[in-house]
Each structure stands twice: as structure tokens, then as C-alpha cells.
Amino acid sequence: MTISGAADLERAVEAGTRDQSFVVVECSDWTIIPLENLIAEFRRRGHKLYAYASSNEEVETAFTILERGVDGVVVPTSALASLYGTKSCSSQTFSLVPARVTRVVDAGIGDRACVDTTSQLRIGEGMLVGSRASFFFLVHGETVTSEYIPPRPFRVNAGALHSYIISSEGKTRYLSELEPPDRVTVVDGEGKAREASVGRVKIERRPMVLVEASTGEASGAVILQKAETIRLVRAGGAPVSVTELEPGDEILVHSEKAKARHFGGEVDEHIQEK
């Protein structure tokens, strides 16, 4: 059904009450508001709503309106080539394993990047950051209430500018490259991932600390701002400040088989990162 006015919304809702597997709608003018209304109505009634989409942007919008989005999309064959490979990290998971801290040392003054997102992060969520392309530390968001500073529920103080971060496409980016509205991956202590948009990257010179850790099979490092509000995540899921970390502590990391990367993508060549 084509939606070009309020009367069409009513007809679509009525069609959804009949014995139909789903209703496909195409919005000719306004898109967001009509789909919001229809998604809410179809969700309340337990019926399925599909939307017509012909671009990556339209697909992404359809699946994110009212958080849940539509039940599916219908695309023209002419758009399949450009849509092939479109994916979302909303259902992606990362394998997080405990790693034992082997060294915690001051790293002098450096430029660190706070990644401020347009989303509200929850306790337990953060971003995967590291100095090696195959070893990432779960850096916790600034969502923990403290005595001296209010939480910043949109922020991950992600560390030194040279660090890798995992983007929503599964590639690595340098923190120095990020800018609005790039997409980054937010991960919780169980490895469940979702996508967030960058609203701002705040770079300032601060004292830094180097944290090294090992799983026994692999090892890596991350350089973070040295402050009580900067936290990693313990093996049990609790956030721990970098100022409290000691060798022997266990923290959560994401370790991959040794990978070489070029412009964020995997390449088949030998690269050594120290």
C-alpha cells in the first residue's frame, strides 16, 4: 500500500487486521512519522509490517524507527547490488574472555579521545579499544556515579589517539579518525553489541597509563587516561578503575587470531605490532 496521507494510514491499519501474513507499505512523501504510527499500531495488534526500501539509508531507517523498526523490508531487484552486504551489529556478539593484567605503568602525557555518542549507554557497556588489531580491551562508559563528578552516560573515554576501535562494519578505525556521524560498536560484558553514532570526539592532553594483559595465548596493551573515572571491566562484569588495577587482576578482552589490517580491513600479510 502506498502511504500519501492520513487516510492511507487508516487503510493500512485496517488491512493489517485481515487475514494477511503482513502488509507492505511505501511512503511517498513523509517517511518517519507514518512508519512510527504504523509500527506502533501493528505492534499493539500483533501484526507484521514491511516497508519498501531502495537504499541502505532507507533500510537502516526502517529497522530503527521506534527502536524495534519494521518486521522486514521489500527491495527492488535493481537495488540488490548496492544493498548486498548491508548488515547491522545489533545482533552481533563478540567473544569476551578474561585476561590477566601483567603490567600497569605511567605512560607520560598524551592526547586522549573521549568518544561522545548520541546514545545513552548502560552500566556494563563500553567500547573495544586496543593498541593491537587482534587484542581489544572493553573500556567501560562513564556511566558510574561518583562523589566528585556526575556521570556522562553518552561517553567512553577511549584512550590514546593511536588506538584501534571496532566500527559498526567490523573494521578497525583509529580514534584519531573518528568524527560525527561515524558509527561505532557498543559492547556489554556479555559481548552483545549494538551500534551508536558519534556525536563528538573530545581530544585533550592528559596523564596516561599503559595497561598490558595476557590470556595465555595472546597479549595486548592499551593506553588510557590515568583517572579514577576511566574503567575497564573485571572478569565478573564489574567495572574497575585503571587507578586500582594491579598485575594479576583479571579483565575482559576480545582476542582474535593474529590479523593484519590495512585501512581497517583484513589483509594477508605479516605485520608485527609491539
What are the pLDDT tens digits along the chain (274 aa)?
A: 999 888 998 889 888 777 778 899 998 887 889 899 999 989 888 889 999 988 878 888 888 888 778 999 998 887 776 665 555 545 588 999 999 999 999 999 999 999 999 999 999 999 999 999 999 999 999 999 988 889 999 999 999 999 999 887 778 999 999 999 999 999 999 999 999 999 999 999 999 999 999 999 999 999 999 999 999 999 989 999 999 999 999 999 999 875 554 444 454 555 666 7
24 belongs to a structural domain: yes
Residues 40 and 80 in one domain: yes
* Residue 81: predicted pLDDT: 66
* Residue 272: predicted pLDDT: 65
- Residue 53, C-beta contacts closer than 8 angstroms, at least 6 positions apart: 59, 61, 62, 73, 74, 75, 79
Residues 66 and 191 in one domain: no
Residues 247 and 115 in one domain: yes
228 belongs to a structural domain: yes
For residues 73 and 31, give the distance between their C-alpha atoms in angstroms, rounded to a whole number. 14
User: What are the C-alpha distances in Å from 21 to residues 1, 2, 11, 16?
Assistant: 14, 18, 16, 8
Residues 112 and 133 in one domain: yes
Among 70, 86, 102, which residue terminates a domain?
86
Longest dimension (CA), the chain: 68
271 belongs to a structural domain: no
- Residue 24, C-beta contacts closer than 8 angstroms, at least 6 positions apart: 1, 50, 51, 52, 74
C-alpha cell at 96: 569476551
Cis amide leading into 181 (omega within 30)? yes
- Burial, 54: exposed, middle or buried (Cβ in 10 Å; 0-12, 13-18, 19+)? middle
266 belongs to a structural domain: no
Q: How many domains does the chain contain in total? A: 2
**End-to-end CA gap in the chain:** 58
272 belongs to a structural domain: no
Among 66, 86, 106, which residue terminates a domain?
86
Phi–psi pair at 221, nearest 5 degrees: -145, 160
* Residue 245: predicted pLDDT: 97
Residues 148 and 199 in one domain: yes
Residues 56 and 111 in one domain: no
| 3-state SS string for 90-103 | HHCECCCEEEEEEE
Among 86, 115, 140, which residue terminates a domain?
86
78 belongs to a structural domain: yes
Residues 56 and 74 in one domain: yes
Entry pTM: 0.73
- Residue 233, C-beta contacts closer than 8 angstroms, at least 6 positions apart: 124, 126, 138, 140, 189, 239, 240, 251, 252
For residues 185 and 76, give the distance between their C-alpha atoms in angstroms, rounded to a whole number. 29
* Residue 262: predicted pLDDT: 42
Residues 159 and 190 in one domain: yes
269 belongs to a structural domain: no
Residues 80 and 103 in one domain: no
* Residue 269: predicted pLDDT: 52
Residues 179 and 64 in one domain: no
Residues 131 and 79 in one domain: no
Residues 76 and 152 in one domain: no
Residue whose C-alpha cell reads 552483545 in the numeric block: 192
* Residue 188: predicted pLDDT: 95
Domain encompassing residue 111:
91-260
